[in-house]
Amino acid sequence: MDAHEQLSVLDTSCLQKFVDTLAVNGQYPLKAAGVDVLQMNICRKCNLFCKHCHVEAGPHRTEMMSKSLLEKCLDILRNNAISTIDITGGAPEINPYLEWFLDNASQLKRRLIVRSNLTLLLEDSYRHFIDSYVRNNVEIVTSLPHYKAEGTDKQRGKCAFATIIEVIKKLNARGYGKENSGLVLNLVHNPTGFYLPGSQPALAREYKSRLLKDHGVYFNDLFCITNMPVGRYLEHLQKTDSLSDYMTELVNAFNSAAAENVMCKNTLSVSYDGQLYDCDFNQMLELPTETNAHLDDFDIGTLSHRRIVLANHCYGCTAGSGSSCQGSTEKSEK
Ligand code: SF4
Ligand code: SF4
């Protein structure tokens, strides 16, 4: 499904309801309050083909951020006080300039995140990335939908769980996930069915104890992320005739406290071609920032106060405890 078809399936005519709900809570218009995170989607190619993928990434994709655009990102980061560089894909390691970029970006002394599916890191041509991640103090975020193999393999493909655990063992051996090592490994949980994630602190405790007991591995934090009705997950909802029920669940679970901290308020998403978006989901739906901004005309002043472009999928960020690339947006006691 292309972006246009996805938007028509999402029935943007119902967007007014989301706007009205925000307005009732004094949260409309939704505006950015700075740019603290530059999230760069540097390639849509991936070795996996996960069922929940909002990017619709896979081995067939070819889109890749060029070295000149990566250099442009470095220039922007050098010239602006953006605290976090968040690299995603596809599988970011497939971009041939990732290692070069990390060596340069780490000089800027910002928080440097790579969202890696980890499974490539067992292959000869990619295993050197573990050294690169350690050398550049990269924070690794990886998706592990469930702490049992069955739940993870159902979404990520056969044997994905075993491969991810094997790589986590290698990362643990280098210090990742160990308290006070400075090397951070965070996991992502997302539901394996058509429902909202459970409590993040409770799931974090469950993941920690089960992964340690069953596999001897450890990690720092768990981020719970709601499956967004975008990309392959949207197709899956449609094929199983579950879209209407799922959207109703998201709408009914609207939480103004979660809406207060949606990630677009401090994040800017960059596509492989340099186009700027309010978030990675808007990127996939081809909904650019209100001024249709590109890296070439990056203006932190304007972007820091931009009005966020909304559509029905935004209900995914505001439902229940809220959802973002850093997990729940409604912070609670651990
Ligand atoms: S969810 Fe991540 S690992 Fe899975 S296909 Fe999409 S980009 Fe690749
Ligand atoms: S989907 Fe994107 S634009 Fe909408 S609320 Fe979530 S982060 Fe903001």
Average pLDDT over residues 319-332: 88
Q: Is the pLDDT of residue 1 over 90?
A: no
**Confidence bin at 68 (pLDDT 50/70/90):** very high
Rounded to the nearest angstrom, the distance between the alpha carbon of 50 and the centre of ligand 1 is 5
17-21, 188-192, 219-223, 236-240: which has the highest mean pLDDT? 219-223
Q: Is the pLDDT of residue 326 over 50?
A: yes
Atom of ligand 2 nearest to the CA of 279: 2
Cis, bond preceding 29 (omega within 30 deg of 0)? yes
User: Is 332 domain-assigned?
Assistant: no
More confident residue, 3 or 275: 275
More confident residue, 99 or 13: 99
**Residue whose CA is closest, atom 7 of ligand 1?**
90
pTM above threshold 0.85:
yes
**Residue whose CA is closest, atom 4 of ligand 2?**
314
Mean of the per-residue pLDDT values of the chain: 95
* Residue located via tokens 């603290």: 36
Q: What percent of the chain has pLDDT over 90?
A: 91
Residue 203: give its domain's CATH number. Answer: 3.20.20
Rounded to the nearest angstrom, the distance between the alpha carbon of 88 and the centre of ligand 1 is 10
User: Is 204 domain-assigned?
Assistant: yes
User: Is 100 domain-assigned?
Assistant: yes
Judged on CB neighbours under 10 Å (0-12, 13-18, 19+), 27 is middle
When computed from its CA atoms, the radius of gyration of the chain, rounded to whole angstroms, is 19
Closest ligand, as measured to the CA of 89: 1
Rounded to the nearest angstrom, the distance between the alpha carbon of 310 and the centre of ligand 1 is 24
Average pLDDT over residues 279-300: 96
Q: Is the pLDDT of residue 199 over 80?
A: yes
User: Is 329 domain-assigned?
Assistant: no
Give the per-residue pLDDT at 334.
44
- Rounded Cα–Cα distance for residues 196 and 146 (Å): 14
State pLDDT tens for residues 9-19. 877 667 888 99
Report how many domains make up the chain.
Answer: 1
Among 53, 119, 120, which is best to mutate for testing ligand 1, by the most ligand atoms less than 8 A from CB?
53
Average pLDDT over residues 311-323: 95
Q: Is the pLDDT of residue 332 over 70?
A: no
User: Is 328 domain-assigned?
Assistant: no
Q: Are 231 and 284 in contact (CB under 8 A)?
A: yes
Give the per-residue pLDDT at 13.
65
**Residue whose CA is closest, atom 2 of ligand 1?**
90
Rounded to the nearest angstrom, the distance between the alpha carbon of 275 and the centre of ligand 2 is 17
User: Is 331 domain-assigned?
Assistant: no
State pLDDT tens for residues 225-270. 999 999 999 999 999 999 999 999 999 999 999 999 999 999 999 9
Question: Does 280 contact ligand 2 (Cβ within 6 A)?
Answer: no
Give the per-residue pLDDT at 154.
93
Q: What percent of the chain has pLDDT over 70?
A: 98
Give the per-residue pLDDT at 120.
97
Atom of ligand 2 nearest to the CA of 318: 5
**Confidence bin at 3 (pLDDT 50/70/90):** confident
User: Is 193 domain-assigned?
Assistant: yes
CA angle, 5 then 271 then 295, to 5° = 130
User: Is 333 domain-assigned?
Assistant: no
Give the per-residue pLDDT at 279.
98
Q: Is the pLDDT of residue 21 over 80?
A: yes
**Residue whose CA is closest, atom 4 of ligand 1?**
50
Among 10, 263, 325, which is best to mutate for testing ligand 2, by the most ligand atoms less than 8 A from CB?
263
Pairing relationship of beta strands 84-88 and 276-277 according to DSSP bridges? unpaired
Task: Give the H or E element holding residue 311.
Answer: none
Q: Is the pLDDT of residue 28 over 60?
A: yes
Give the per-residue pLDDT at 330.
79
Range of the domain at 184: 3-318
Rounded alpha-carbon distances, angstroms, from residue 266 to 65, 84, 100, 279: 23, 10, 26, 10
Among 48, 60, 232, which is best to mutate for testing ligand 1, by the most ligand atoms less than 8 A from CB?
48
